[in-house]
Amino acid sequence: MKKLAHQQAGDLGEALALAKLNSLGYAAYASPTGAPGHDLMVVVNDRALSVEVKTRQFINRETEITRWPVLMAAKGDADLFLFVALNITNMAPTFYLLTNEQARKCHRSDPNRKQSGNCLPSAVRAIVAANDFGALQ
């Protein structure tokens, strides 16, 4: 089995995230293609929140994912960050939903590239449990 192309995985992660949010009873919508700073919008308590979705894929174990790249300079205004760990053998996603503040706590900048950085899976899992959508309440 081969991993999907980066863009394919990202598009699939966004579609799965959109479906998950709607299945939880939230009104969620895809942002226009190329919208700066976020991928989805979700309405919570009559307030529209922006969601940046970051997808990484794995074949055997979720620990194959070593980072979720996040460009905070461009994406840092999103209200929520939804990290998707996608098992491509069965297309089953695991979701990690963080507030902006939580995402910033787990973000590590690349000292060699001022505009880039990553959220490490271990840091993300230390902040929020898998498939916990409590940040929407």
Domain extents for the chain?
A: 6-136
Helix, strand or coil for residue 46?
Answer: coil
Closest CA to 21 of 29, 9, 12, 11: 29
End-to-end alpha carbon distance in the chain = 38
> In angstroms, rounded to a whole number, what is the distance separating the alpha carbons of residues 50 and 81?
9
**Cβ-based neighbours of 128, under 8 Å, separated by 6 or more:** 96, 97, 98, 102, 134, 135
Fold of 6-136: Trna Endonuclease; Chain: A, domain 1 (3.40.1350)
pLDDT at res. 53:
95
> In angstroms, rounded to a whole number, what is the distance separating the alpha carbons of residues 13 and 88?
11
User: Tens digit of pLDDT per residue, the chain (137 long)?
Assistant: 789 999 999 999 999 999 999 999 999 999 987 777 789 999 999 999 999 999 999 999 999 999 998 876 666 688 999 999 999 999 999 999 999 999 989 888 766 666 678 899 999 999 999 999 999 98
